[in-house]
Amino acid sequence: MRLIALAGRHATAVMAAGVLIGLAVPPLATLARPLLVPTLLIPLALALVRLDWAAAGAWRHRPGTVAALLAFILGVSPLAVWAVTLALVPLGFPEPLAQALVLMAASSPIVSNVAIALILRLDAPLAIVVVLAGTALVPLTLPIAADALVGVSLEMPLAEFMGRLLALVGSAFVAAWLIRRLVPARTLAAHHDLLDGLSVLNLLLFGLAIMDGVTAYAIERPGYVALAIVAAYAFNLLLQVAGGLAFRHLGTTRALTVALLAGNCNMGLVLVALQGRASFDVTVYFALAQIPMYTLPALLKPVYARLTAARASPR
């Protein structure tokens, strides 16, 4: 238990280790592969256990702000990325990588953003509202963006896509409800480091699992992999900066939360919708894009702390 709590106190560093170990030790990534779905659900369930539901519910009184956030993440972001890649492809930028970047930007925020927001002391209630609403809407918006912007047809029936998402998110809600029913609120509050540790260990396992097969591909095509990693960092940061600046009027903590949501998109949902029709170059990018998603929280944590502290300090 102490080791898990210690992982919680050093959550961002442990997260960063996950994908790097997965790349460095391929057998571990292969071993962790069957844990992809459980390790996606558990951090969301643990975040829901700790969530301030009154604060999340208060966002129903600000529907215009929530709608603007969703429009930016699901609409403006893919359009912006498409415009940038449209200019890059004639300069030799790989077409599959351009497609992958647009599809990434067109997806909803990853569900583990809620757990990461808690770890970084950002606005987790805002994160859960946008994550859930974005996940509910993405079956409607993603096929349109994919077809219009990159000419990729997502043929999965809407009912099947939404059913899979409902099963994914619904199971996390059920688990969180059971935990809150069985464990007193005071006990949960007293063990936040332990809960952070459990969340981050699951994120570490997910980071390991999604790297399965990537190391071998990197040895075969090091140039593409290097470019994909650079692009993943660049576009993650560009979307974060754009989201933070666009919603800076919400205050520093909320603007940083929007940045986190805008930059870290759920590529697993895109893979589900593609049903194996994407080229392997696109699929590899979705795995490599986990590297900035897992390492940037550690790299940016001092920046978040400095910005929120400066905002909170008296003038």
Average pLDDT score over residue span 144-161: 79
Distance CA 146, CA 103 (A): 6
Q: Is residue 7 pLDDT above 60, yes or no?
A: no
Return the pLDDT at 34.
78
Distances (CA, A) of 223 to 216, 217, 219, 227, 228: 13, 11, 9, 6, 9
Say what percent of the chain tops pLDDT 90.
Answer: 32
User: Which whole number is the average pLDDT over 168-187?
Assistant: 83
Query: What mean pLDDT is predicted for residues 154-165?
Result: 71
Report whether pLDDT(226) > 80. Answer: yes
pLDDT of 85 > 80? The answer is: yes
Task: Return the pLDDT at 53.
Answer: 76
Phi, psi of 162 (to 5 degrees): -65, -35
- 46: three-class secondary structure by DSSP: helix
Instruction: Give the Cβ contact number of residue 13 at 10 Å.
Output: 14
State residue 139's pLDDT score. 84
Confidence band (pLDDT; 50, 70, 90) for 259? very high
pLDDT class for 241, splitting at 50, 70, 90? very high
- Collapsing DSSP to helix, strand or coil, 93 comes out as coil
pLDDT at 164: 72
pLDDT, tens digit, 9 for 90 and up, residues 21-53: 777 777 877 887 777 777 777 777 877 787 777
- Return the higher-pLDDT residue of 187 and 122: 122
pLDDT interval class at 314 (50, 70, 90) = very low
Whether the per-residue pLDDT at 311 is higher than 70: the answer is no
Q: How confident is the model at residue 237 (pLDDT cuts 50, 70, 90)?
A: very high
Distance from C-alpha of 31 to C-alpha of 212, rounded to nearest angstrom: 9
Distances (CA, A) of 97 to 3, 94, 134, 179, 229: 39, 5, 24, 42, 10
Whether 8 has a pLDDT exceeding 60, the answer reads: no
DSSP secondary structure string, 215-249? HHHHHH-HHHHHHHHHHHHHHHHHHHHHHHHHTGG
Q: Which domains does the chain have, with CATH numbers?
A: 2-308 (1.20.1530.20)
Q: Which of 99-113, 130-144, 170-184, 198-212 has the lowest average pLDDT?
A: 198-212
Instruction: Give percent of the chain above pLDDT 70.
Output: 88
At residue 149 the predicted structure's pLDDT band, cuts being 50, 70 and 90, is: very high
d(CA 187, CA 237): 37
Q: How far is CA 128 from the centre of its chain?
A: 12
Other CB atoms within 10 Å distance of the CB of residue 54: 8
Note whether 65 and 189 are within 8 A (CB). Answer: no
**Distances 306 to 58, 215, 245, 265, 311 between C-alpha atoms, Å:** 27, 36, 17, 25, 9
Is 80's pLDDT higher than 70? yes
Instruction: Check if the beta carbon of residue 313 is closer than 8 Å to that of residue 262.
Output: no
Phi and psi (nearest 5°) for 299? -70, -35
Q: What is the per-residue pLDDT for 206? A: 76
Question: At residue 180, what is the residue type?
Answer: R
Phi, psi of 47 (to 5 degrees): -65, -40
Residue 277 has pLDDT above 90, yes or no: no
- 125-146 tens-digit pLDDT: 999 899 888 888 888 898 889 8
Residue 174 has pLDDT above 80, yes or no: yes
